Structure 1
Amino acid sequence: MKALIWQGKKDIRYETVPDPVIEHPRDAIIKVSTCAICGSDLHLFDGFMPGMESGDVMGHEFMGEVVEVGRENSALKKGDRIVVPFTITCGECDQCRRGNFSVCERSNRNKDVADKLFGHTTAGLFGYTHLTGGYPGGQAEYVRIPFADKTHIKIPDGLTDEQVLFLGDIFPTGWQAAVQCDIEPTDTVAIWGAGPVGQMAIRSAVLLGAKQVIAIDWVPERLEMARAGGATVINFKDESVVERLRDLTQGKGPEKCIDAVGMESHATRSIDAMYDRAKQAVMLETDRPHVLREMIYVCRPAGTLSVPGVYGGLIDKIPFGASMNKGLTWRMGQTHVNRWSGDLLNRIQEGQIDPSFVITHTVPLSEGAGMYETFRDKKDGCIKVVLKP
């Protein structure tokens, strides 16, 4: 079969790889109908995440038709149409029973490595590093789904791929980011980053009843999409985020702050951003945490910081004293996709939201390698790329 594979930093290729096969009785094989490039994939493309190996199949946002089922998998049958969550879940361990699916205790087949790095393993992930299992991803013609009897979302008739594809990652990620804020009707929610996850967080905060939602970015197309979703926008290249947030909150600061940027903050004019880039260049720091610092500074005392943005390693100069003395609550983590999927699927069916609004580019999988740079550099108004095998 054909797939997009990682061959090194900034080197994604469309090549032939072995077809997947059933390896465990709970497995399933799907024929991919639609997949996407996620912002998290760019961390692999740019070489910021450790544990990648030449030939790894990329992608963790995908869906398709079941074409083969393991003998112990009674939850699926051939012909079923499913979205696949990016987090692989056994459904049986203590964390899965608690609904903490992104920290499943059994699905990371490289558990010993993750235990040493993180203290405890987290879930296996599709198309990500070998720290999370090294499972082949979904930017391919076919994919093996481990623990497929639990790691799936069945899709009813009448919904297009584009409407439901993002149930596997960015829609529940934005939703969880907003839910973690415990939004009250009087709250201002400020969201750093108006990429795909930020866009979903904006609409989630609106659906959850925030009084005011503010989106912070610099790309015109993203800001316009955020405005269309109900947000007041701040272009950080044209105005001071700190001063504008003070104006919009009568000097009190936003009660809830969401970091939908993560490790590759693109702030350019601040001293701390230049400091981060210099330390990163000489491998003294892995991530660029400008957004975290700014959120701590502007957040209203006793407020909440929600962090769906991915961080991969070590960060520096975090004003933790300010966070402690202001009494800020931190909530973060990879997404517990299956905790939210039923509710979000119902919201799509009821017409509350159509996640396909975020798609700007649809191309064949064979052209996917070139789209990584287009997506990363925001060329041609690119916000979200969908690929068709």
Structure 2
Amino acid sequence: MKALVYGGPGQKSWTEVPDPTITDPRDAIIKVDTVTICGTDLHILAGDVPAVEPGRILGHEAVGTVVDIGGGVAGLNRGDRVLASCISACGVCRYCREGHYGQCLGGGGWILGHRVDGVQAQYARLPFADLSTYRLPATVSDDAAVMLADILPTSYEVGVLNGHVRPGDTVVVVGVGPIGLAAILTARLYSPSHIIAVDKAASRLQAAKQFGADIAVDANEDPLEVVRAVTGGLGADVVMEAVGTPGSFETCTALVRPGGRVANIGVHGKPAVLHLEDLWIKNVTITTGLVDTYSTPNLLGMLGAGQLDVGHMITHRFALDDFMEAYDVFAKPAETGALKVVLSHS
């Protein structure tokens, strides 16, 4: 089969590799029907995730059809159409029993495209398939479902829920790529009074307005002045970091009000300064997190009921063999206007 293989920082190729096989009774093999690229994949290619070794097949967001299952997999059958979660869960370790699947001690967590081969391929092996896949109803399209593999649960859990967004809050999202847009979309579920989007790209700020931001601010201007103007000088109740750079994190801590919350979602490859000389007295809560995907069933229910509209998230579609072009488009959003790119069998 063909797969997108990481060759080291800055190196990738769409190339022939051996077909995946069942190696554990709880494995399933899927034929990948629809797959997408994540900002985390770009961080890997930049060398920000050194645990990823050369030769690894990338990708952790896919919808596929089950073609083989191990003897220990319950609840799945060949031919089932499934969402492959970005998080794999053994289900029996302490963290899994507490619902913290991202911290799984039994060989799970974020492993696809990280510590084991991922799903940017024609076929993929899914460990712990009984707990790490979701059978999809016919009413949910592949394009919509693949948004639930990572970006929606990540934004919802690590951003909105960790940030404790409440009715009437002023919420700021710094960085409105796909993750930031999903944070805006799911923050709206809690009726904040204002959602302020901050980014450098005009196309993404325009998209943020479509997803529910009522104020869009160029990061090169003065976001703090805008936030203070709509909060009576206090600052934002919740600020979500959705970029993963030192500067964006420092911006978030400058925008939050005393007693507010900063929810870091972005993947950081470099140290960020924590200005405790300013923050120690302000009762600010800062949270970090890797998604656990405990919210995926609820989000899938909302998607099926029409309560979440993710259609505007996808800006480009490619055939599966066009992975190299898709990466080029996704990696240059300022030029291409790319949000999420989706690849599928033609």
Q: Give the TM-score normalised by the residue count of structure 1.
A: 0.85
Structure 1 residue 124 displacement after superposition: 4.0
Matched, 1:68 2:25: no
Matched, 1:13 2:13: yes
What letter is aligned with 1:306?
A
Matched, 1:163 2:144: yes
Aligned partners of 2:276 and 2:149: how far apart in 1? 33
Q: Aligned to 1:13, what secondary structure does the other structure show? A: strand
Q: Which residue of 1 aligns with 2:286?
A: 330
> 1:156-305 counterparts in 2 under 5 A?
156-176=137-157, 177-231=159-213, 232-237=215-220, 239-262=221-244, 265=245, 289-305=246-262
Aligned partners of 2:57 and 2:298: how far apart in 1? 31
Aligned partners of 1:163 and 1:374: how far apart in 2? 20
Q: Residue 325 of structure 2 is aligned with which of 355, 361, 370?
A: 370
Stretches of 4+ aligned residues off by more than 4 angstroms: none
Aligned length: 342
Matched, 1:126 2:112: yes
Aligned partners of 1:366 and 1:10: how far apart in 2? 20
What letter is aligned with 1:354?
D
Aligned partners of 2:47 and 2:287: how far apart in 1? 26
Q: Which residue of 2 aligns with 1:281?
A: none
Q: Which residue of 2 aligns with 1:151?
A: 132
Is the CA contact 2:247–2:272 (under 8 Å) kept in the aligned structure 1? no
Is the CA contact 1:166–1:355 (under 8 Å) kept in the aligned structure 2? yes
Is the CA contact 2:172–2:197 (under 8 Å) kept in the aligned structure 1? yes
Aligned partners of 1:193 and 1:317: how far apart in 2? 18
Aligned partners of 2:151 and 2:202: how far apart in 1? 21
Aligned partners of 2:273 and 2:150: how far apart in 1? 30
Q: Aligned to 1:34, what secondary structure does the other structure show? A: strand
Q: Which residue of 2 aligns with 1:280?
A: none
Aligned partners of 1:323 and 1:63: how far apart in 2? 43
Aligned partners of 1:5 and 1:241: how far apart in 2? 39
Q: Which runs of 5+ in 2 are unaligned?
A: none
What letter is aligned with 1:385?
V
Matched, 1:309 2:295: no
Is the CA contact 1:188–1:210 (under 8 Å) kept in the aligned structure 2? yes
Structure 1 residue 48 displacement after superposition: 2.0
Q: Aligned to 1:88, what secondary structure does the other structure show? A: coil
Q: Give the TM-score normalised by the residue count of structure 2.
A: 0.95
Is the CA contact 1:296–1:322 (under 8 Å) kept in the aligned structure 2? no
Kindly report the root-mean-square deviation, in angstroms, between the aligned alpha carbons of the 2 structures: 1.4
Aligned partners of 1:167 and 1:209: how far apart in 2? 22
Is the CA contact 2:249–2:272 (under 8 Å) kept in the aligned structure 1? no
Q: Which residue of 2 aligns with 1:52?
A: 52
Is the CA contact 2:86–2:112 (under 8 Å) kept in the aligned structure 1? yes
Is the CA contact 2:59–2:120 (under 8 Å) kept in the aligned structure 1? yes
Aligned partners of 1:258 and 1:103: how far apart in 2? 22
Worse-superposed segment, 319-328 or 302-311: 319-328
Aligned partners of 1:124 and 1:163: how far apart in 2? 21
Which protein is richer in strand relative to its size? 2
Aligned partners of 2:132 and 2:247: how far apart in 1? 35
Q: Aligned to 1:302, what secondary structure does the other structure show? A: strand
Q: Work out the percentage of aligned pairs sharing the same amino acid.
A: 35
Q: Which runs of 5+ in 1 are unaligned?
A: 109-122, 129-133, 266-288
Structure 1 residue 385 displacement after superposition: 0.9
Q: Which residue of 1 aligns with 2:33?
A: 33
Per-residue CA deviation, residues 347-371 of structure 1 (Å, 9 max, x unaligned), is 1111111223200011112211232
What letter is aligned with 1:222?
R
Q: Residue 359 of structure 1 is aligned with which of 314, 317, 325?
A: 314
